[in-house]
Amino acid sequence: EVQLLESGGTLVHLGGSLRLSCATSGFDFYNYGMSWVRQAPGKGLEWVSSISGSDGSTYYADSVRGRFTISKDNSKNTLHLQMNSLRAEDTAVYYCAKNYESSGFYEMGAWGQGTLVTVSS
């Protein structure tokens, strides 16, 4: 059974940094593309970042490029999101997601339960 478990969400000050983690099990983590998607309170889904399973290429939304870094630790089957220079608009539940059937990242077939990041002054 595929399992994804996010952690690291908390209250952080404006301009601060935070590292989210997503521990996975039940599939060959190395081969799959992974993504982070966020949802601000009462709002819709927003794609944040993805990493390819084939070559580790990374992709970012304009809203986070240059501030966030996605990475995979294949030895620990864990996905990370390093978040720097946090803004109030980064407040959201952050979900990690596994691509459905390939090393790409275009269809998110399994999701974690989410972790809440609150950015406040």
| 11-13 and 115-120 beta bridge pairing | parallel
Q: Which residues of 23-42 are buried (b: 16+ CB within 10 A; e: fewer)?
A: bbeebebeebbbbbbbeeee
Q: Which stretch binds another protein (CB under 8 A): 11-19, 23-31, 68-76, 112-120?
A: 112-120
The answer to the question of residue 73 lying near another protein (CB under 8 A) is no
The answer to the question of residue 114 lying near another protein (CB under 8 A) is yes
The answer to the question of residue 35 lying near another protein (CB under 8 A) is yes
The answer to the question of residue 56 lying near another protein (CB under 8 A) is no
Query: Do residues 38 and 24 make contact, with C-beta atoms less than 8 angstroms apart?
Result: no
* Dihedral (Cα; 115, 117, 118, 121), 10-degree rounding: 160
Token couple for 108: 């998110």
The answer to the question of residue 27 lying near another protein (CB under 8 A) is no
CB of 91 to another protein, least distance (A): 17
The answer to the question of residue 113 lying near another protein (CB under 8 A) is yes
Site string for another protein, 92-111 (x = CB under 8 A): ---x----x----xxxxx-x
Strands laid side by side in the 3-7 sheet: 3-7, 18-25, 78-83, 68-73
Binding site for another protein (CB under 8 A): 35, 37, 44-47, 50, 59-63, 95, 100, 105-109, 111-114
